[in-house]
Amino acid sequence: MSEARPRRAASQWAVAWRRFKRNKSGLIGGAIVVFFILVALVGPYLVPYPARSYQSLYEGDAGDPPSFKHPFGVEVSGIDVFSEVVDSTKNDLYVGLAATLITTLIGVAIGALAGYFKGAVSDILLGVTQMFFVIPVLLLILLFARVFSVLVFKGLGLTLIVLILSFFGWSSIAFIVRGETLRLKEMEFVQAARSLGARPFRLLFRHIVPNILSPVIVIATLNIAGFILTEVVVSFLGFGDPNTSTWGLLLNEGFPYVRTTWWVALFPGLAVVFSVLGFNLMGDGLSDALNPRLRE
Amino acid sequence: MASLVRYIIRRLLFMIPVFLGVAILTFFAGNAAGNPINLIRVGLRNPSPAVLRALEAYYHLDQPVWLRFLYWLGDVLHGNLGVSISGRPVLSQIGPWTFTTLELQVLSLILAVVIGIPVGVFSAKHQYSKTDYAITSVAIFGYSMPTFWLGIMLIIVFSFYLGWLPSNGAVSVSYPWWGSWALDPIAHLILPTAVLTYVSLATIVRLVRANMLEVLRQDYILAARASGLSERTVTYRYALRNAISPVVTIIGLGFGAALSGAPALETTFSWPGLGYAFTQAATNLDIPLVQGITVVITVMVLVANLITDLVYAVLDPRVTVQ
Amino acid sequence: MDEKLLEISNLRTYFFTEAGVVKALDGMSLEVYKGQAVGLVGESGSGKSVTAQSVLRIVPRPGRIVDGSVKFEGEELLTKKEDEMRKLRGRKMAIVFQDPTTSLNPLYTVEKQLTDILMLHKDLSKDDASKQALHLLDRVGIQDPERRLKTYPHELSGGMKQRIAIARALACDPVLLFADEPTTNLDVTIQAQVLELLKQLQRELNMTMVMITHDMGIIADMTERVTVLYAGKVMEVADTQTLFKSPKHPYTEALLKAVPSVKQTRALEVIPGNIPNLIEPPTGCVFHPRCKYAKDVCVKKEPELERVEEGHYAACHFWRELELEGRGG
């Protein structure tokens, strides 16, 4: 008889998804990310020139500005910028996603342990987390990247960078996870589970961890953006892998000749800006969707 | 007051193991090939015998690893950073470089804070307005781009295309920019400062805005308004005061991050500071130099953090209680 | 007759959010006479707090008063300029908020929070203001006031914090006090103390108090007249005793049934359903989806506030026909 629409009981995730859909900038970010993923997966098969190819040199197009044949121009060395930018997409995304995956695992583990247990273990973990948070991480990454890339690890390629980034980049997640664990530990549903005889690790991973997913997802998404930016710096300075196309490597190759071939610096940079922007916008959108702040 | 002092001492004590941690990591990097000399040889096939002898003594190569670390740490703490592969002592070169880097970093930081905080407050107070969207969009682009790349773009436009500003160095060599030796350094400062300020601004505006929005939602702000306090008092003495503490922390961390970004930014502008020197040293595998710079930058970052902690504690006394 | 201190007529306060327009107050009226202790009762989300915020015109964004009239001491408040309103806030009218943990500024000492207001409205020197603050703490029953002045809110218990919030509200002897769920966030034992304090202060200062609450027990204890609010509209207005003995609106009956008492032998009745969606409120009578007496006309036509007898009004199509259960005492 009533005309008021009944409230559909909705799961936490359904509500968040609905909220995310309403967030314009979050959707734009998501669209950009999807676009780049598609480029990464399909692009390399569609580009005119294979990766790291100097073919254009033999065609006499070296150093040419953007044209129909070379939409993003050609490097002085004969490398077609457009093909390279597209090829690099999968590599940059690889670094961003892989490093985020590893740091999230490390961060959640360390953060949860630090938050759940009391005493020396927890204090040491907290101290280590704080240390990695405070130090000039990029500087050490650059140092490690340079030093290790000249040694036996040459065969690892970008994976070396991923490992170095992962070693240094887990502290932001660990902090959030520790904070949330501390908060949730005292909540009633945890006390209830404990009163039913659940042992610490079960409590930790079956009850607490699922509830910290929201902030972790947000930070992880933003971390992808950060890791891509870091990779760009590492490769730009020449400390990355010279055999794998990345946007940073392109900037490294283009910079010495930027006065005459400015397109080599512009387009890879734009690719970085938009991919990072995409992840940042998506992260913000997720943050708004997963953390309701409206008073009603 | 006493709790403030105790808090600062606690933070100082915390910095010590952090410094040790970085020292260990830096030492480890230098010894990645067994010992630093091996690594140097990868980059420089035949270092000068004099330099080799000096470095062999400095690194105590005949000792086991852990003793080598302690010797090196001891040297570092006494200011002895060894000699670079060029033969020149590391420490003596670091002074001028540090000044040049700080010139750029501190100026940008001040500008970013002075502009960023009011803009962030404005943006928060006018949430959902067109200006707010504009500011937020400009800010989000700011921290989505590599700082050095923005530098390259500005160089292309303002140096190569328009010719208005210089593209490298901190001072000109033969001919002063704008015809004046007094104005010349300023001309050189403009582009790198603009780049660094913009990127720092982006983070600060975003953070101030987010915190202000959070604080303005609080009951005590509503209560302050209910007490008849003017909008200006409520915004600045109540809301901003409560919103600013996390911003202070981020400014401190941001300074550390900016210093970390110095290698790329200074390389782009050939800015003769610690960052540029770091890049050259790392590229040349000049291990003593690169280790020395890393240590110096780390110390600067830790000092910046301590200052930040102090300011934070003054603003928000809650943090001094354990 | 006593003079009318506050007269709210047909007040509409809407919140313009991304999800839609939330009609927090949709044609609400209230009359308060000087010296009265009046109750404003309803569930969370009924618009009670928004009423107090609307009177002081501090409704937070994205809320706005869109229609109606609020007369205080005979003067229309909605047309006043902002700096005129500011002179009234804290000085002639004040609010005690629900949660003292969030309504007190965590970064300022107790002293500063009190002296700020004293110096603002009363033009006192810092020393005089401090002395006044001390006196205020004493009046709200705080032991060892000299020491408490220098403490920060996070160092105090809930009950003490609320006393300080009350002291802050009363700093300049306002004639009208809104107490917005002042005890909801406190322990039960402390609740009684704070309510007792409010009663005592109201008597001593001959202050007019609007007690905003969802708790009928507090209404019975503290007020002489009460307005029942639901989804931003007035359901019933009456003297407290009359409302309890013979309620004329189904919602009032339901609220009364939900309060436990020692003599109770039957089960507590919970009001079925949830508060309505204020963006798209139900048609006709706002309460009809949850009303066990609802008929066709309730879905189609919105009832007006009709006079039951002198001083007693109800907004229900069937107040004459329904035999509703009240509570004896």
All domains of chain C in start order, with CATH: 4-223 (3.40.50.300)
Q: Is the pLDDT of residue C143 over 80?
A: yes
Helix (H, G, I), strand (E, B) or coil at B49: helix
Enumerate the β-bridge partners of residue A74. Answer: A80
pLDDT digits (tens, 9 = 90+) for C57-91: 988 878 889 999 999 998 999 998 888 888 888 88
C259 token code pair: 């309060």
Dump the DSSP string for A31-75.
HHHHHHHHHHHHHHHH-SS-TT--HHHHTT-TTPPS-SSSTT-B-
CB pairs under 8 A between A and C: 29
Structure tokens at C288: 């009809």
Helix, strand or coil, per DSSP, at residue C94? strand
Residue C299 at interface with chain A, using a CB cutoff of 8 Å = yes
Structure tokens at B168: 């490298």
Q: Model confidence at B251, in pLDDT bands (50, 70, 90)? A: confident
* Encoded amino acid at B233, one letter: T
Query: What pLDDT does residue A295 have?
Result: 35
- What is the rounded CA–CA span in Å between residue B83 and residue B33? 19
Where residue A267 falls among pLDDT bands split at 50, 70, 90? very high
Question: What pLDDT score does A53 carry?
Answer: 83
To the nearest whole angstrom, how far is the Cα of A194 from the nearest Cα of chain C?
A: 26
Asked whether A275 and A95 are in contact (CB, 8 A), the reply is no
Q: Residue C68's pLDDT is what?
A: 93
**Which of the two residues, A59 and A176, has the higher pLDDT score?**
A176
Which stretch of DSSP H or E encloses residue B75? helix B65-77
Per-residue pLDDT at A4? 42
> Which pLDDT belongs to residue B71?
86
Chain C touched by B228 (CB under 8 Å): yes
Closest residue in chain B to residue A124, using alpha carbons only: B17
CA dihedral (A200, A201, A204, A210) in degrees, to 10, reads -150
Dump pLDDT digits (tens) for A14-54: 767 777 777 788 889 999 999 999 999 999 888 888 888 88
pLDDT digits (tens, 9 = 90+) for A43-102: 988 888 888 888 877 788 788 888 888 889 888 888 889 999 999 999 999 999 999 999
Which whole-number Å values give the CA distances from B74 to B64, B71, B88, B291, in the listed order?
Answer: 16, 5, 20, 14
- Identify which has the larger pLDDT, C3 or A9: C3
Q: Which of A126, A131, A143, A236 to mutate to test the interface with B (most CBs of B within 10 A)?
A: A143
Cβ contact, residue pair A4, C17, below 8 Å: no
C-beta atoms of A269 and B33 within 8 A: no
Best CA proximity match to C100, nearest among C54, C169, C50: C169
Q: How far is B316 from chain C (nearest CA, A)?
A: 6
Nearest chain C residue to A296, by CA? C45
Instruction: Confirm if C253 and C327 have CB atoms less than 8 A apart.
Output: no
A104-108 mean pLDDT:
94
Phi-psi region of C181 (alpha: psi -120 to 50; beta: other; left: phi over 0): left
Asked whether the beta carbons of A25 and A32 are under 8 A apart, the reply is no
Residue in chain A closest to B296 (alpha carbons) equals: A136
> Is the bond preceding B246 in cis, omega lying within 30 degrees of 0?
no
* Interface contact flag, C53 B222, Cβ < 8 Å: yes
Token digits for B145?
A: 């781009």
pLDDT of residue B230: 85
> Which of B60-64, B316-320, C152-156, C191-195 is predicted with the least confidence, judged by mean pLDDT?
B316-320
Mean pLDDT, chain C, integer: 87
**CA distances, C147 to each of A74, B113, C104, C156 (Å):** 76, 38, 18, 12
Of B18, B149, B290, the CB nearest to A272: B149
Check CB contact under 8 Å for C17 and A5: no
Check residues B183 and A255 and name the one with the higher pLDDT. Answer: A255
Per-residue pLDDT of C109-140, as tens digits, reads 888 888 888 888 888 888 888 898 998 898 88
Q: What angle do CA C167, C173, C175 make, to 5 degrees?
A: 120
Q: Chain A residues contacting B, CB < 8 Å?
A: 127, 130-131, 133-140, 142-144, 146-148, 150-151, 225, 229, 232-233, 236-239, 251, 255, 258-259, 262, 265-266, 269, 272-273, 276-277, 280-281, 284, 293, 295
Which residues of chain B neighbour A135 with C-beta distances below 8 Å? Answer: 18, 21-22, 256, 298, 301
* Of the candidate ranges A68-82, A97-111, B49-63, the one whose mean pLDDT is the lowest: B49-63
Q: How far apart are the first and last CA of chain B?
A: 15
The nearest alpha carbon in chain B to A283 belongs to B140
Q: Which of B225, B228, B242 sits opposite C105 (nearest CB)?
A: B242
Q: What is the pLDDT of residue C265?
A: 62
Option in C22, C278, C299 nearest A1 (CB): C299
Classify C28 in phi/psi space as left (phi over 0), alpha (psi -120 to 50) or beta. Answer: beta
Q: Which are the contacts of C136, defined by CB distance < 8 A and separation ≥ 6?
A: C114, C167, C170, C171
C-alpha–C-alpha distance, residues B299 and B22, integer Å: 10
Q: What is the pLDDT of residues A202-232, one digit of tens each?
A: 666 666 666 788 889 999 999 999 999 999 9
Q: Alpha-carbon distance B149 to B34, whole Å? A: 36
Which pTM value belongs to this model? 0.81
Integer Cα distance of C51 and C42 in angstroms: 12
CB-closest option in A150, A232, A273 to B42: A150
- DSSP label of B83: B
Local confidence band at B138 (pLDDT 50, 70, 90 cut-offs): very high
Report the amino acid identity of residue B271.
W
Distance CA B30, CA B35 (A): 7
3-state secondary structure of B251: helix
How far is the C-alpha of B238 from the C-alpha of C103, rounded, in Å? 12
- Separation in Å, CA B308 to CA A222, B298, B316, C106: 25, 15, 12, 20
In whole angstroms, give the CA distance from residue C241 to residue C326.
10
Return d(Cα B311, Cα B315) in angstroms, integer. 6
What is the distance in angstroms between the CA of the first residue and the CA of the last residue of chain A?
A: 26
**Helix, strand, coil abundance in chain B, percent, nearest 5:** 80, 0, 20
Which residues, other chains included, contact C102 with Cβ-Cβ below 8 Å and sequence gap of 6+?
Answer: B218, B219, B220
Calculate mean pLDDT across residues C3-16. Answer: 91
Q: Which CATH architecture has domain A29-289?
A: Orthogonal Bundle (1.10)
Token digits of residue A251: 């900037």
At residue C60, the pLDDT reads: 84
Q: Extract the tokens encoding A239.
A: 């400390």
- Taking the C-alpha atoms of residue C77 and residue C234, their distance in angstroms, rounded to an integer, is 21
Judged against a pLDDT cut of 80, whether residue A5 lies above it is answered with no
Nearest chain C residue (CA) to B129: C62
- What does each C-alpha distance from A174 to A115, B213, C48, C119 come to in angstroms? 9, 26, 42, 46
Dihedral of CA atoms A90, A92, A96, A102 in degrees, nearest 10, equals: 70
Q: What is the pLDDT of residues B271-283, one digit of tens each?
A: 999 999 999 999 9
For residue A76, give both structure tokens. 């002085």
In the prediction, which pLDDT does A125 show?
92
Lowest mean pLDDT among A252-256, A290-294, C203-207, C266-270: A290-294
Two structure tokens written together for A237: 């300075």
CA–CA dist A58, C103 (Å, integer): 74
Q: Once rounded to an integer, what is the mean pLDDT over residues B131-155?
A: 92
- Given CB atoms, is A3 within the 8 Å cutoff of chain C? yes
Residue A3: the pLDDT is 38
Q: What pLDDT, in 10s, does the model give residues C26-56?
A: 989 999 999 899 999 988 777 888 999 999 9
Give the Cα separation of A5 and C282 in Å (integer): 9
Cβ–Cβ contact C22 with A under 8 A: yes
How many angstroms away from the CA of A219 is the closest CA of chain C? 25
Whether B301 sits inside 8 A of A136 (CB atoms) is yes
Enumerate the residues of chain C whose CB falls inside 8 A of the CB of residue B225. 56, 58, 89
Which residues from chain C sit within 8 angstroms of residue A1, using beta carbons? 294, 296, 299
Query: Residue C190's pLDDT is what?
Result: 87
Q: Where are the domains of chain A?
A: 29-289
Residue of C nearest to A2 (CA): C289
Contact residues for A176 (Cβ-Cβ < 8 A; gap 6+): A107, A111, A212, A215, A216, A219
